[in-house]
Amino acid sequence: MVEELKKVGFKTVVMIDPGIKVDLDYWVCKDGLEKEVFCVRGDGPLLVAPVWPGDCYFPDFTNPKVRDWWADLYKELIAEIKVDGVWNDMNEPAIFLADNFTQSEKTFYNDVRHDYDGHPCSHRKAHNIYGMQMTRATYEGLKRHAPDRRPFVITRASFAGSQRYTSAWTGDNVASWEHLWIANMQCQRMNVSGMSFIGSDIGGFIESPDGELYLRWLQMAIFHPFFRTHSSGDHGEQEPWSFGEEYTHLSRKAIELRYKLLPYMYTTFWQYVKNGTPMIRPLAFIDQHDHDTLYRMEEFGLGDLMLICPISQPQVDGRWMYLPKGEWYNFWNDEPMASRMEFWAETAIEEIPVFIKAGAVLPMFPIQQYTGEFEKPEVRLHVYYINGEQDSQLYLDAGDGYDYQNGEFRQSDFKVCGTENSIFIEQKFEGSFKGFIDMFEIQLHALPGKVLSIKTDDGEIDFENEVKNKIEVVVFRVNHDFEKITISFEKFDEEE
């Protein structure tokens, strides 16, 4: 099944919980007992508690020998069946209440003992790191048994430092407008706490959203690093096509935008890994010296160039919001926006407020049905006019494996310099990655004049242009290795 799914573009992620069913005919249980990997109570007996399989034993992931044992368990799944990732759930650790398990919390007794990397302690001390150490062992197992692939791990519970091993989501939420708002807050706060690879269960895990709530949640979440629509399955269907044709169409439009933005998202991820900068940025992170950013919570930046403000109320045609310092354009219509002031952002049902920084070079892919559909996708660079200077970056590699460590990557550093009648696009790049079409398609946005000529290192080139509401839209193609592009234009007559 996994092999058949892979042929049509699906990547399979399996869920593995910490609870090991108490069953001497189950080889994992038997092996764990022989190697003494399971947690014990303070007075000596093994911890036994109910989870999904019934009564379970629990590995002590704070013990390095247990982590090594756990990592080896993945050999069949990763090296032979070749699943693409592992989802660790219930690892707070969570347990179910039962008649013979009387404590009020749904987790281990406080007297459960842990190795704690050679510093024995009770569960009171080890509780917060239990999930992190499980994902650490899982990560090492994936890396061990598929050394040519990057480990993909998801977890429900973890701790500071876990970004080295895993992605995460915000837990079992509810299908409500309040929880859409909460998901926005959680993802921002996790990002500035060091954990950027984070998202929420789109539409809510518990109960059922209507079409509008599901769509608004989806429209916000396409800008979150971890993007997943998910539910318990107990409350009706919740796929993107479950709410009628209108919402199917609008959901498709949002998901397609996510696929188009992948090179920008990937570049932002690379910046996070390289520099430690959060992928999602609250307004106060963008401009902490502006007092008006300190109490505004819903707006957030994605990387260096984008700002998003979700719609978190039903049946509205807009919302009040705030743009931080700088010059910005409306992503949907290229309208220039004033910053450092509150304004009413109108929004139709098919979109939420999204803004792009002036001078940005925003990279996009063509629409894909799954990552890797195109062996060599074309990169379109959306360049936004500025009367000044702005830096941008593009980072690409194979998306998996470790060839990037040997130079198989593409890092482009762009500088856009604009004046009243010209705009220059400069590029410096390094790396030998060739996994994209060797021509960039460039689209110029928000030019305040009619283009007269476009010149590159190889001379003057042809272009297509269209004027809409005194805004010049220009599209042209250049070699990927260009060093400088010069665009000359004639300003529109203000009386036109």
Instruction: Name residue, tokens 């989806």.
Output: 218
DSSP 466-490: EEETTEEEEEEEEETT--EEEEEEE
**Distance, CA of 319 to CA of 301 (rounded, Å):** 17
Sign of CA dihedral 286, 288, 289, 295: positive
Which pair of tokens denotes residue 107?
């987790």
**Distance, CA of 389 to CA of 414 (rounded, Å):** 10
Rounded (5°) CA angle 91-230-285? 75
Q: What is the dihedral of CA 259, 264, 266, 271, to 10 degrees?
A: -160
Which pair of tokens denotes residue 448?
């305040």
19 bridge partner residues = none
> Which amino acid belongs to residue 193?
S
**Distance, CA of 202 to CA of 207 (rounded, Å):** 12
Nearest to 200 by CA among 235, 175, 165, 166: 175
**Distance, CA of 67 to CA of 234 (rounded, Å):** 34
Give the catalytic positions in this structure.
89, 92, 172
